[in-house]
Structure formats: C-alpha cells, structure tokens
A and B are shown apart, each in its own frame.
Chain A
Amino acid sequence: MEKTINLTLKVWRQNGPKEKGRFETYQVSNISTDSSFLEMMDILNEQLVNENKEPIAFDHDCREGICGMCSLYINGRPHGPDQEITTCQLHMRKFKDGETITIEPWRAAAFPVIKDLIVDRTAFDKIISAGGYVSVNTGGVPDANAIPIARPAAEEAMDAAACIGCGACVAACKNSSAMLFVSAKVSQLALLPQGKIEAKRRAKAMISTMDELGFGGCTNTGACEVECPKSISISHISRLNREYLKARFSE
C-alpha cells in the first residue's frame, strides 16, 4: 500500500567552486514511500522552480545503479541509510514521516564542489589515465580461450571490476582516501595475465597520481567497504599494497 511522508531537508547550497556554501532548509510533503530518493529531489526542484528559486544541482544519469554518477552524503552516510545501493536506488521508505534529512556533497580536497551537491570527480579519471589500462596492439580479436585463467582469479577480477567509480569510498573514509577505488582498478588487472606485464608501472603510477591529487592515506578503518554500493572488498587494498611494495622494492 502506498504511504506518503512529509520531510524537512537540510541541503548544502553553494553557487560555485570558489563561493562560500551554506545549508538551506526545505519542506517537502506527500512524498510516496515508493519513490526513489532522486525522485524526491526532483519533486523538491519542481517546487523550487515554481517558487522562482534556483533548483538544487545534483549528479545523476542512469538512475539504476550502474553508471556511478549519483552521489549525495545523506544523514551522515554516502548513498544514504541502506547497504549495497547507490543513491538512485535508495527508496523513500527508508525514512520516517517528519524526519529531517541532511544532504551534503562528498567531502574531499581532491573532490572540490562545483555547485551545490555536485563535486568534481575528474581526479578518478586522472588516476585511471595514469595506469588503469592494459596496452594492446590493435588488430584482430584475440582467441577467446587462448590464455587460460583460473576460475578464482577470474571471479575476483570480476568482483573488482564491479566498481562504478562513484567515489563513495572517498566520501566514507575519514582520510578521504581513494585506496578502495584504486585497489579495485589495480586488482581487476593484476589478477589477470594480460595485466601482469604492466603491473609494476601501473601500481606506482596510479599511487603517485593518487597522492599528488590530494587524497589521504589508508588507515584500514574499513568504512569504504561497508559504504561501497558494489561491496568492493578491502582485501583488494591489501593486494594493492602488495603490488605497490613489490614494485618499489624491485627498483
């Protein structure tokens, strides 16, 4: 049965990267508990447009948990109060009638706010372009089973490849560390024969780019793993440490 709730929203508003931000309070009423969090944001924006006010800027694209575009730090947790989901998959039934919801952007020196709730996540792209790929010559499609890969390795590489680059790990980490993201990107290649050739260069380049961009270091609190919508395991971080240390010590 459909139920509706009324909510008070405390939303971070910031006009531009260099502007000073502030929290604004809004009321929304008759929100269906079947609607998604982003639909609720749409309703609020509609309301703001009708009042001739500037709508709230927030990131979104696929709205089905696969693109990694949506963000939002909701009531103290990235992607809000649910497990293994992105904000676009968050249902309003997770909230109570009359509740106050605080909505903030990801907070990290490496993810500066562009506007309101939108942060600049190109830092992740820079880390990927530093080494998150395998170099192959163009040509015909290689034989599918020419290179045998053990099943456990294939499974673990696939698990790591589930990362959608949303940045919730950075948002969740008290150090704004990007280690879970980088470890997923290093693991998905380090586990496969195709990725082993450039393994050393990759680990070094991606970590040094990560450091340069101002992400913090890992202190193994494990918050990233819990908040990650794709449940990327922190065991990948241990593999990244291993790959990096091997690369440095063999210099």
Chain B
Amino acid sequence: MQSSSLVKQDAIVVKHAKYSPVREFWRAFKKQKAALVASIFIVLLIVIAFVGPYIVPYDPFEPDYNAILQTPSAKHLAGTDEYGRDIFSRLIVGSKISLTVSFSAVFLGLILGTILGLISGYFGGWIDKIIMRTCDVLFSFPDLLLAIAIVAILGPGINNVIIAVMVFSIPSFARLVRGATLNAKENVYVEAAKSMGASHVRIMYKHIFPETISELIIFVTMRVGTAILAASSLSFLGLGASPEMPEWGVMLSSGRDYLGTATHVVLMPGIAIFLTVLAFNLIGDGLRDVLDPKIKNN
C-alpha cells in the first residue's frame, strides 16, 4: 500500500501545544480559590485519618478520671470529655471512621446507581420504567428517614449504616446518570459505534459513561458531605457506631448531657462535622464551575 502525493494535502502541519484534559482541568481549577482551600483541608484530613492513630498525643480510649470535662488548653487542645479522654485525639481517630463510612457508602452507591442509570437511559422502554419508578418510590422518603428505616430493619452497627447511606444514594446517582445518558446517546458518534457493530456494553462503557463523568465527580463530592452528615446523625441517634467509639456523631450525642456545663464537648465534634461537610460542598461547587458543560459554554 502506498499513498500518492495527491492525498498528502494535509502535509502542512499546524503546530499547536499538545492538548491534555488533565492540564486543562488543573488550569481552570486553580482559579477556584475556595475550592482549592477546601481541597487542601480534605487532603490533610485524609492524611490525618491514616497516620492519626500513630501520632495522637493521648490514647483516645483511655479514661483519665483526674481530667474530666476540662476546657481546651495547651495540654488538651480540644479539652476532655466526661471520662477525661482527650477530645482532640478522639476527633483524629474518629475522622477515619467518618471518612471510611461516607466514602464506602458513596462509592457503592455510585457504582450501583451508575449501572442502573446507564441501563435505564440506554435501553429505555419497560426496563427504564421499572428502574425509574423504583427510584421515585425511594425518593419519596426523606433521606434520613429512609436510612433510619433501613438500619431499623438490619439492626444498628457501622456496616449497616454504610448500607443505609448507600441505598439512599443509589436513586440520585441513577437519575443523574440516566439524564446524562439520554443526552449522550443522541450523539452521532454513538450511532457510528453502532454501525461498526460495537456491543451495548462497549457503547455504554466507551462512549456514554465518559460523558457522565464530570457530572458524577461534582455530585460525588457533594454526596460525601451528605453521607458524613447522615452517618453522624444515625450514630447520634444510637443507630450507628457503638457508644464507646470515637465516631463524631457518637461524641456529639454523648456530649449532649453536658451542654450547659461543658459546651466544648459538643462543640468540637460539631465543628469537625461542619467543616468537613462544608469543605466537600465547596469542592463540589468549584468542580461544577470548572466541569459542568452548561456553565462552561457560557
């Protein structure tokens, strides 16, 4: 096979900088100052969650009856609780529980929701109707109520909290992905793939799923915030982590009795939850400005 000079018309190569989606993203994300600060906070939090147990100043489980309900000081940065345990150490160890629970719940919800959403949007018809009606039913319960109901059925415990939070995440992911799929499958290149004989799985995976990624990334960050809040709430209600665990919701709950005398016992885990949820939402907002095609095109 040789090609004649006739078709070598494009030999004039226009040199332009090589395009890279990652570099492009980073260039735009750098401008989102609030999200950038929030990302640094979350990265630090994750690092702390992993190395925290080895560097904590005090054993988070060891009571110290000589130092009960002390207010924050140089010795105990966040004060101590009703058993004299160092709250700062407990918060650090607790961050691992909160992050693990929320990340795994959202991750599982993401996988199942995405698969359901892709199937629903791509095939349409009766399978779409069944999936979407089921989602509607789940949607009609307030998030937390649904989670409570699930834990009530499965019994309390951290694993069941993960399942509960996952279940109430599925419908929102499924809906989001279905919407993006409906748009993506109208693309001519999807028809091109069909005309080449690509299988349904290949089309969904190669040509449709990538179209949903940016919306998913935005939504996942927002959703992690919600999940932390939900998991803490369940623990607060005594349906999640067991009472001696340094989980943030549990800490909040057990500090209730001392609200009048030692506010910091409630305040400290409250601030931890607040800042973490806020940070995830700020990142989500920043990502939306950078990634959302509807905003980008303006």
A associates with B: no
